[in-house]
Amino acid sequence: MAIREIVKYPDPILKQACLPVTAVTGETARLIRDMVDTMYAAPGVGLAANQLGVRQRIIVVDIDYENPGKNLLKLINPEIRRAEGEVFWEEGCLSVVDFTAEVKRAARVQVVGLDDQEREVKVDADALLSVALQHEIDHLDGKLFSDRISRLKRDLYTRRLKKLLRAGKPVRENPRLMI
């Protein structure tokens, strides 16, 4: 188990679709443990494998930050099977530092995937869990939450980030819990 460095925007791996996991191996299990440790240390409520530089369709989500591990979801090859309603949620991301925005998402989703024992898991979710699952599955498809906001807001953030990086100034992490 290890805490790994989280890949930050604009790293190109964040824009690449992840590949399906064909078999759960010891390496897969180690990656999932590292993802969980990294998510909790960040702190965050969700993490996708490509945020650690690994292009595999794996996510971890735990929205119960008062009881870490009690409601932890580890999903391999997750798919949204059903989505209904709509909700606007203020989102942030461990890979998109110093930026949050209101994003339109489905209010309720049903997600199906495999757990780390290769058993099928079906999750019916609403509220924050629904948003977190959609956010992480977007990562697996090479999409960031910032892709779901207006081009103007996205461009303003990108220009500000590039300016800070050119000036050698540190980009501060957002202290709130991130998806």
What are the residue numbers of the active site?
A: 136
Count other Cβ atoms within 10 Å, centred on residue 176: 10
CB burial of residue 100 (10 Å; 0-12, 13-18, 19+): middle
Q: Across the strands, what pairs with 111?
A: 80, 123
Q: State whether residue 36 is helix, strand or coil.
A: helix
Closest CA to 78 of 39, 29, 122: 122
